[in-house]
Amino acid sequence: MNIGDLLIPFSLPAASGKEVSSYDYAEKFVFVVFVTCNHCPYSQAYWDRLIKLAEKFEEDNFGLVALCGNDAKKYPQDSFENMVELYTQKKLPFEYLHDEDQAILKHLGATRTPEVFLFNQHRELVYKGAIDDSWENQETVTRVYLEDAVEYSLDGIEVDYPEIPAVGCSIKWKD
């Protein structure tokens, strides 16, 4: 996806046991799709940060979903059953969606885990890429790219750096 492109409607199974649709977030002023997985150390480093982000903006008409679509045959840790286990263990305050056929990953143009895609109220892509500038250590973060982009979007301001390359593991595509 390019900045300004529209998110396509989707409906996917969630680790919570629900079927979750993009329409469930229609009233949200901003909407984040957090492309992630269970096995990648980069993704593992960001779970708690995304939980804090969701809690910080909980009252601000903010929506967030995590999305995993890695090939679970090659990477069993990323199976739906293991997604359910992580969802329960972490007590995620947002849905963790399973993109079995990888259609949403392909639509987004996702290449890494983790990688985020931020959409405005019109579901136009306004930011994509990295969450912050230090995946290894939360204490050394100096730039909070996603958080800043969310704040800009909530204020109705254009994001001044709409693309920051994501750092992480490659998406595990199916053959």
Side by side, which strands form the sheet with 62-68? 95-98, 62-68, 30-35, 115-119, 125-129, 163-164
106 pLDDT band, cuts 50/70/90, is: very high
**One-letter identity of residue 51:** I
Q: pLDDT by residue (tens digit) across 107-130? A: 999 999 999 999 999 999 999 999
Query: What does pTM read for this prediction?
Result: 0.96
Provide the strand spans (E) within 4-145.
11-13, 19-21, 30-35, 62-68, 95-98, 112-113, 115-119, 125-129
The domains found in the chain, sorted by start residue, are: 29-170 (3.40.30.10)
Q: What is the mean pLDDT of residues 147-152?
A: 97
Give yes or no for a contact between 22 and 10, defined as CB atoms under 8 angstroms apart: yes
The number of residues in the chain equals 175
49 pLDDT band, cuts 50/70/90, is: very high
